[in-house]
Amino acid sequence: MTAPRLLVRRPSPRLADGELTHLERLPVDPVVALEQWEGYVEVFRARGWQIVEVDPADDQPDGVFVEDAVIVFDDLAVLCRAGAASRRGEAPSIRAAVARLDLEMAEVAAPGTLDGGDVLKVGRVVYVGASSRTDAEGIAQLRRMLEPRGWSIVEVPVHRVLHLKSAVTALPDGTVVGYAPLVDAPESFPVFVGIPEEHGTAVVVLDERTVLMSADAPETAEVYRKRGLEVVTAEVTEFEKLEGCVTCLSVRVRD
């Protein structure tokens, strides 16, 4: 078995100019952001992941959030069409990077919009947030791509946060977790568990016993440890100021 691959892009010096929808703008330190990004990537490198860097896009403030630009389903990479017009300049470099991964590619076409942050995979079920960034046409196109491949699509309303995965993610056993005040429709999921801190919502599954999450949610980390999980934390404060989180900063490709 080959090592899993991690698609990432280093943050732009213009990160502070990134889009904001639900939060007040706060000062963002690009030097600290780069240090935090390097620490985040090192978590995966230390566990044997192969790091694949997308070419820098310093003119794209939100380019570090690569999860929004492409989603991988088995051997299919779906290139998204950003809901924010300011982010569509990220697409060419993402397409070039994905071409090096030896995956089949499909692409969401205009007028549809789809952000990868609105897509949560749990087993063979794909929950898709109907948000300000992902529209009905984008969801319909994704459904046509995936249902013939054995995936089921469940549409979920998203109004209180930027993306579905700003509100919920899933633990290795498929339990969906989220900070309840920010979750529009917890009944959409077979099993939902509320957690005590907003920044504890986002987890990246490293393996069946290990999750990566923000260092800014210690109470939630303890909740996960009590469930028998190993918890690895990363400082991502500068990205959280821009409605980002640990999931947004990479695309995980597992063979």
Host H or E run for residue 176: strand 176-178
Q: Quick check: bond before 30 cis, omega within 30? A: no
Calpha distance 88→187 (Å, rounded): 33
Residue keyed to tokens 């597992």: 254
Cα of first residue to Cα of last residue in the chain, in angstroms, is: 7
| pLDDT confidence of residue 147 | 98
| pLDDT confidence of residue 245 | 96
Is-contact 72 105, C-beta < 8 A? no
Is-contact 199 214, C-beta < 8 A? yes
Calpha distance 16→25 (Å, rounded): 9
Tell me which residues of the chain have a pLDDT lower than 70: 1
| pLDDT confidence of residue 242 | 94
Give the residue numbers marked as catalytic. 163, 248
| pLDDT confidence of residue 203 | 98
| pLDDT confidence of residue 21 | 86
Residue 40 identity? Y
| pLDDT confidence of residue 20 | 79
What is the dihedral sign for C-alpha 198, 201, 204, 208?
positive
DSSP letter for 196, please.
S
* Residues facing 207 on adjacent strands: 210
Q: What is the pTM of this model?
A: 0.96
Is-contact 133 115, C-beta < 8 A? yes
| pLDDT confidence of residue 1 | 61
Domains within the chain, CATH numbers bracketed:
5-253 (3.75.10.10)
